[in-house]
Each structure stands twice: as structure tokens, then as C-alpha cells.
Amino acid sequence: MNSDYAHQSYVPLRQFFMLASIIISVAVSGDIKEATEQQRPEDFVRLERFIPGIEMDLKYTSRSNFTGTVVRGYDKGQCWITRDAAEALRKVQSDLVEMGLSLLVFDAYRPQHAVNYFVEWAKDGDPSASTQSIFFPELDKSELFPKGFIAAKSGHTRGSTVDLSICAQNADGQRKELDMGTIFDFFGEEASTTFPRLNAQQKANRLLLKTLMEKHGFKHYPVEWWHFTLKNEPYPSTYFDFVISKGHD
């Protein structure tokens, strides 16, 4: 999301991106390949091994996410991404290390059946969620899918999209995430990158992340400050479903 937009322009902005997504989906629907339960392609790499020292906080491998559960497909606790995207992230990380900072990765490749799990969770008929007060305090659970916060297709499944932030280390060596104004996966207008009612430091932190990611070949999703996709992604129309679990070490 972009910081100069007025608060009242947020809804049209989200509607624009939802409409654009629908148009693109229809336009390329004939080329989309469902890669169900297939073997991992050779050009996917373990991000934590590819970039030693990068910080990881894989939200869907624990209960610390909007579903309140370990998400189906994330049982191994690993982070996979295409080599092309990993190479670009390594350049971002190098820039940050010079500042005494690091990338903090929340999610990268996401199996299609994990996406299906999100949809099922959103539509399960249970109007309540223990995580509502944290992740979507202004919305009902039933609104998340129709309003586009959860979708049946995700760029993450193509393998070159990543959710991340920036962190530093305190004097005692503890990791400290920079203040971005909201938590990861916050469902609301406050998560838009240029949400106007941020303090100066929060705006600067979001701008730093956006600037470095774009510098090294990523495009930004404006309604989620943490969400970036490699511009020249190697699998622009393939939605993978290999499981992040045993057999994919």
C-alpha cells in the first residue's frame, strides 16, 4: 500500500486490485497449470541455507498466525523459494547487513493446498476466531474472503513471492523487528504501505523495505507492506503444490 493515499481512497484502491486480479486471472486462465502434489523443481532452494544469517519467523509453521493453527503444508518448518528470487534477496540482505540490519522472512513458497486451507478456514461457518482481535479487529471472519484478504489463488504458490520485514539486534543479541506500524498479516487499511496515519519512523521503515526490494528486482503489493514478488518470476503461471515436509530436504 502507498503512503500518500488519503484514508478514504483505501476502499477504491483495494477494489482496483481485486478487479485487476480477476481480469488477469481470466486472461491467463488457459495457461495456468495446476501442479498438484508434484516433485519440487530443481531451481527451488532452502532460503535459510541459501542466505546464511538471514532471519526467519515462519508464521504458518506455528500457531502464531491469523488461523491460530499450524497451517496444512507447513509441518516441516522450512522456507523454500525459487533460486532467482533467492539471488535477488541475497542482494537486499547484503545492503541491509551494511546497515547492521537483516531481512526477517515470514513466508515464501506456499503450497496450493495451504491456500485451500485458508479458504476453508474463512468459509467454515464459524463466525468467531480467537485471533480476530489481533489480526482483523474491524472485520468479521466471514468478510475476509469476499473482501479479498484471503483468495483462492496466491502468488506465493508460484514460488517467487515473499513476505518479510526488517530486523536488528538489541545490545543483548535479541532480534528486534523494526516498527512497521502493524503486525504481519494484519487485515485492514493500516497495512497499506502508504497508510497516512503512521508516525515518521514507521513510514521510514516501510520506505526502506520497499526501496531496497524494488532496487533488486521485486514489485510491491501496495495493500500489504510486507508482500513482494520477483518481477521476472520464472513460473508466472504455474501454481505448485509440493508439500513442505519429509522428502523435500
166/15: higher pLDDT:
166
Number of domains making up the chain: 1
33 CB neighbour count, 10 Å cutoff: 11
Does any domain span residue 2?
A: no
Catalytic residues: 224
DSSP bridge pairs for 105: 56, 164
CATH code (residue 141): 3.30.1380.10
Q: Does residue 210 carry a pLDDT above 90?
A: yes
**How far apart are alpha carbons 88 and 31 in whole angstroms?**
26
pLDDT tens, residue by residue, 11-57: 344 443 443 443 333 333 333 444 445 788 999 999 999 999 999 99
Give the mean model confidence (pLDDT) for residues 98-127.
94
- Is 249 inside any structural domain? no
Residue 1 lies in a domain: no
Task: Provide the residue type at 184 as one letter.
Answer: F
* Residue 246 forms part of a structural domain: no
Of 31 and 87, the one with more pLDDT: 87
Of 73, 77, 84, 74, residue with least CA distance to 48: 77
- C-alpha dist (Å) from residue 195 to 15, 175, 225: 16, 26, 10
3-state secondary structure of 91: helix
**pLDDT at 245 (0 to 100):** 58
Identify the bridge partners of residue 230 per DSSP, sorted by sequence position: 218
Instruction: Record the pTM.
Output: 0.83
Which of 5-9, 67-71, 217-221 shows the lowest mean pLDDT across its residues?
5-9
Domain residues for the domain of 33 are: 7-241
C-alpha 18/C-alpha 120 separation (Å) is 20
Residue 139 counted as domain residue: yes
82 within some domain: yes
Q: What whole-number percentage of the chain has pLDDT above 70?
A: 83
Question: What pLDDT is attached to residue 28?
Answer: 35
Residue 205 placed within a domain: yes
> Are the C-beta atoms of 218 and 230 separated by less than 8 Å?
yes
Q: Which residues have C-beta within 8 Å of that of residue 106, sequence separation ≥ 6?
A: 57, 58, 59, 163, 164, 165, 184, 185, 226
- Does residue 162 register a pLDDT over 80? yes
Residue 137's pLDDT band, with cuts at 50, 70 and 90, is very high
| pLDDT given at position 24 | 34
